[in-house]
């Protein structure tokens, strides 16, 4: 069954004008008694956002309160943020990225964030399973560019010691002296291998979580935008694009679209992604470069490459799903000169996704008041951290 075939569409009013069929969704005040009782009345928990954080929150709430009514609102006909638009890396931090983080964040917060990422990945694998989301434990490589200094061996040793002390993981990062001959890259002088990371199909991940929600009796209203909300003594009134509904608790899980609620703490971050047509290549695994700002992987015979927002931070602080030609040109240059040097390729598809970042990468998991709660700012690590954020959000009530 397709993940959205199970959605119960409320109703459509059909009009015809000049041989064109116009569909208009009914307002809530036009619904029948049965429809209102099923969807609008008695919701204990309403969740805004049907991405990884929203679905994880819904399932975690159901685990804690199996008899309560739960509703998920999603403004798109698909999740429109980053959950099904990212590269599908099960990553928790490359050495060059962590080196940069430790220069700009307190070490305690860096390790707290890594802990959430590892817990999130563990919960995701337990909840979904490896096979259903096409999980590959293919490992990852952090590639150091020809013009960049190598990472200090003492820093790598310290990272490994910290991972062992905090999480019991041994030799997380190892220098790979054979990466050039394995993959045929150009323009990198060093690479650090992490055997604990891998890749997934994010669409299949979301499909599995959605099906679990439906099986648990969690309800959905897609193509429904939340305009505003007002928190009362014992409930929240939620104004949507089709009318008002209420709940005992409201959970904001829209990540990159939540700047309105936290204007001083987060901002959207658009990411550009390209996928080639099938070709013969030697790439096998997941790869980062330039502190994680570039990332690529194989998808069968194709190569996926994304990132580059650090080339134009101001423009990429956007919630518009548009392309940035400057970044697109840089991505094509990376493919041509570094990833597939001397090899012809064609781009088959390209898109953008919206992440959420801030001055620090630790997510915001917070109650705005006693009945409105938010889980946002995944810092580009939504696949890793999203399930843990959902579990933590469910414990705020």
Q: Which two tokens stand for residue 146?
A: 């020809």
pLDDT band at 23 (very low <50, low <70, confident <90, very high): low
Please report the pLDDT score of residue 7 as a whole number: 39
Token pair 């099904």 in the structure block, residue: 84
Helices 95-104 and 107-128 cross at an angle (nearest 10°) of 140
| Residues 6+ away with beta carbon under 8 Å from 321 | 80, 270, 351, 352, 353, 354
What CATH code would you report for 22-76+87-136+200-265+359-397?
3.50.50.60
Q: How far apart are CA 318 and CA 355, in angstroms?
A: 10
Please report the pLDDT score of residue 25 as a whole number: 82
Which residues face 71 on adjacent strands?
A: 46, 219
pLDDT band at 262 (very low <50, low <70, confident <90, very high): confident
If we measure between CA atoms, which residue out of 382, 114, 258 comes closest to residue 390? 382
- Encode pLDDT of 221-243 as tens digits: 999 999 999 999 899 999 999 99
Token pair 């979301």 in the structure block, residue: 206
If we measure between CA atoms, which residue out of 385, 390, 317 comes closest to residue 49? 390
Share of the chain above pLDDT 90, in %: 79
Q: Which two tokens stand for residue 106?
A: 């307190």
pTM of the model: 0.91
HEC profile of the chain: CCCCCCCCCCCEEEEEECCEEEEEECCHHHCCHHHHHHHCCCCCEEEECCCHHHHHHHHHHHHHCCCCCEEEECCCCCCCCCCCCCCCECCCCCHHHHHHHHHHCCHHHHHHHHHHHHHHHHHHHHHHCCHHHCCECCCEEEEEECCCCCCCHHHHHHHHHHHHHHHCCCCCCEECCCHHHHHCCCCEEEEEEECCCCECCHHHHHHHHHHHHHHCCCEEECCCCEEEEEECCCCEEEEECCEEEEECEEEECCHHHCCCCCCCCCEEEEEEEEEECCCCCCCCCEEEECCCCEEEEEECCEEEEEECHHHCHHHHCCCCCCCCHHHHHHHHHHHHHHHCCCCCCCEEEEEEEEEEECCCCCCEEEEEECCEEEEECCCCCHHHHHHHHHHHHHCCC
- Encode pLDDT of 61-85 as tens digits: 999 999 999 999 999 988 776 788 8
What mean pLDDT comes out for the span 283-291?
96
Which residues face 297 on adjacent strands?
A: 286, 304
Residue 118 confidence (pLDDT) above 90: yes
């Amino acid at each position: 069954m397709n993940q959205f075939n199970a959605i119960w569409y409320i109703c459509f009013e059909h009009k015809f004008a000049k041989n064109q069929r116009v569909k208009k969704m009914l307002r809530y005040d036009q619904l029948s008694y049965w429809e209102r009782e099923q969807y609008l009345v008695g919701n204990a928990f309403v969740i805004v956002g049907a991405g990884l954080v929203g679905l994880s929150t819904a399932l975690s709430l159901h685990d804690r309160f199996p008899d309560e009514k739960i509703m998920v609102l999603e403004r798109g006909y698909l999740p429109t943020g980053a959950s099904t638009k990212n590269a599908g890396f099960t990553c928790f931090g490359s050495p060059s990225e962590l080196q940069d983080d430790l220069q700009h964040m307190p070490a305690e917060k860096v390790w707290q964030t890594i802990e959430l990422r590892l817990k999130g990945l563990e919960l995701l694998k337990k909840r979904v399973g490896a096979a259903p989301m096409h999980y590959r434990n293919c490992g990852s490589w952090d590639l150091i560019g020809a013009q960049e200094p190598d990472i200090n061996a003492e820093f790598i040793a310290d990272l490994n010691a910290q991972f062992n002390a905090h999480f019991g993981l041994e030799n997380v990062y190892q220098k790979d002296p054979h990466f050039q001959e394995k993959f045929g890259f150009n323009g990198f002088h060093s690479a650090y291998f992490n055997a604990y990371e891998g890749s997934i199909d994010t669409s299949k991940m979301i499909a599995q979580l959605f099906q679990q929600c439906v099986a648990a009796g969690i309800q959905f209203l897609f193509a429904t935008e939340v305009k505003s909300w007002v928190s009362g003594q014992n409930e929240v009134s939620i104004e949507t694009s089709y009318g008002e509904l209420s709940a005992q608790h409201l959970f904001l899980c829209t990540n990159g679209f939540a700047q309105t609620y936290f204007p001083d703490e987060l901002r959207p971050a658009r990411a550009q992604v390209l996928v080639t047509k099938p070709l013969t290549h030697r790439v096998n695994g997941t790869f980062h470069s330039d502190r994680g700002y570039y990332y690529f992987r194989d998808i069968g015979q194709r190569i996926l490459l994304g990132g580059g927002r650090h080339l134009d931070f101001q423009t990429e602080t956007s919630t518009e799903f548009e392309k940035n030609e400057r970044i697109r040109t840089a991505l094509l240059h990376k493919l041509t000169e570094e990833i597939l040097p001397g090899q012809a390729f064609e781009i088959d598809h390209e898109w953008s996704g919206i992440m959420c970042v801030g001055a620090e990468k630790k997510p915001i998991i917070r109650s705005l008041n006693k009945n409105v709660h938010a889980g946002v700012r995944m810092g580009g690590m939504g696949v890793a951290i999203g399930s843990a954020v959902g579990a933590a959000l469910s414990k705020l009530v």
